[in-house]
Amino acid sequence: MIETRAVRTEELDAMLEIMCAAFELTPGPARELFFRDPFFNVENKRVLVADGRVVSCLTVADAFVWIGPALVPVAGLAGVATHPDFRRRGFARRLLCDTVAHLRGRGTPLSALIPCSPSFYRRAGWERAAGHARTLIPYPRRADFAEVRQVRPAIDSDRNAIGRLYDRWARGRTGCCKRDERRWRALFDRVKGRALHCGDRVDGYVLYEFREDTEAHRVLRILELVAETDAALRGLAAFLSAQKDLVAVEHNGPPGDPAAAALACWLGGDESGCRPVTEWLHGAMFRVVGFEAALRCLAPCLQGLDGTVDLICRDSWTSPPVTEAVRISGGGGSATVEAAPARRGSMRIEGDSGAWAAVLAGCWSLEDAAALNRLHVLGGADWVASPHFPRRNPCLPLPDHF
């Protein structure tokens, strides 16, 4: 007999054992992290049980993510794993699809995850919807900006000031998560490399870590750098470049981030082997869970809609398959969103849950998806709807990866 459900307390050790085997974790430290997780919630730990034995597991990590002007609840999925003795039997996919049905029942709009195997998750309804730019600066030069005098390590009492700065920076920036006090506390506990620039107020900060290339040389990996002023950016750049024994600085951030260009200019060399290199890395995959719920959450993006369009999302990956028809309408002001069957001859847009996920998250514009033949547009619906589903270049910051 097979069942999927929330893990029971007496099954937590079996779940942890599966995760250690799947991700090659050392049991002792993994156990400490597992039970110390500030977001630990048994109801969000889902398992597949076969004949009384836990064989697959995952964890739901609830978040709120900005998509344009809308703040949308997203169920992040992490730690998807199957016991080595039970792999290639479809258990992980069954658990994923049943979890989607469970999330739909509780009104969740979207789900997201960081994939180790994109093709596997695409076959379960997820689609690539976010990424980030990584700039590697080998053998960084020293940036001796005077503003470094206003930079210092960030301590616990700085969390609120840094959080307010982050809120200003992240608002409306697609892919960024809303961080409450508990999330910032967990970040400070996990990330030990922290510094801030403080002039009249905190106007810049950086979260970073070191990766040891050799015993004597280190790569400084920037997880997040936020600067409201040029002075803050110069000060933080000088602070980072002054760290000892660096063979490289690695910046990770949204595409076109001015901080990456500035760091490359100030710290990068001209000689062969010292020039900065930027590459695009795929990140989170998104999935529609509840189509109507997602569109209701995205109502701020529909402001100014002028007309009526029927939107249809087909999810053939769950059992049973689900089709949702939603009507959006407006007269140039606020838009309404309602579940309604598509009308004969109406302006209509149809597609599967993966395509809609990429569009709603802003990875593809509606026009992109239509050109890829992933969404089918009827009756000139694109003229009405396209302005409200643009490409937004979503980037889920590394500190918020599920």
Distance CA 75, CA 368 (A): 25
The domain boundary, picked from 247, 279, 311, lies at 279
Is 402 part of any domain?
no
CATH number of the domain enclosing 258: 3.40.630.30
pLDDT in tens, 123-154: 999 999 988 999 999 999 999 999 999 999 99
Residue with tokens 């609120």, as numbered in its chain: 160
Asked if 221 and 268 sit in the same domain, the reply is yes
Domain that holds residue 19: 2-128
The predicted pLDDT at position 342 comes to 86
Residue with tokens 């836990």, as numbered in its chain: 54
Pairing of strands 246-253, 127-128: unpaired
pLDDT in tens, 163-187: 999 999 999 999 999 999 999 999 9
Asked if 159 and 273 sit in the same domain, the reply is yes
Asked if 138 and 124 sit in the same domain, the reply is no
Asked if 102 and 234 sit in the same domain, the reply is no
Confidence category of residue 221, pLDDT binned at 50, 70, 90: very high
Q: What percent of the chain has a predicted confidence (pLDDT) above 70? A: 98
- The region of weakest confidence among 203-217, 228-242, 252-266 is 203-217
Angstrom CA distances, 49 to 4, 53, 267, 392, stand at 6, 5, 53, 40
More confident residue, 326 or 215: 326
Buried b (16+ CB within 10 A) or exposed e, 136-147: bbbebeebebeb
Asked if 302 and 359 sit in the same domain, the reply is yes
Mean pLDDT of the chain: 94
Residue with tokens 């002028």, as numbered in its chain: 306
Residue 216 has pLDDT above 90, yes or no: no
The domain boundary, picked from 85, 106, 128, lies at 128
Edge-to-edge strand list for the sheet holding 45-50: 2-6, 45-50, 53-67, 70-82, 110-113, 285-288, 127-128
> CA nearest 326: which of 361, 351, 354?
351
Distance CA 199, CA 234 (A): 12
Distance CA 387, CA 150 (A): 44
- For 199, list phi and psi in degrees, rounded to 5: -95, -110
Distance CA 130, CA 12 (A): 32
Q: Which two tokens stand for residue 271?
A: 């000689």
Asked if 151 and 239 sit in the same domain, the reply is yes
pLDDT in tens, 264-296: 999 998 776 778 999 999 889 999 999 999 999
pTM of the model: 0.93
Residue 258 has pLDDT above 60, yes or no: yes
Asked if 152 and 118 sit in the same domain, the reply is no
Residue 213 has pLDDT above 70, yes or no: no
The predicted pLDDT at position 361 comes to 97
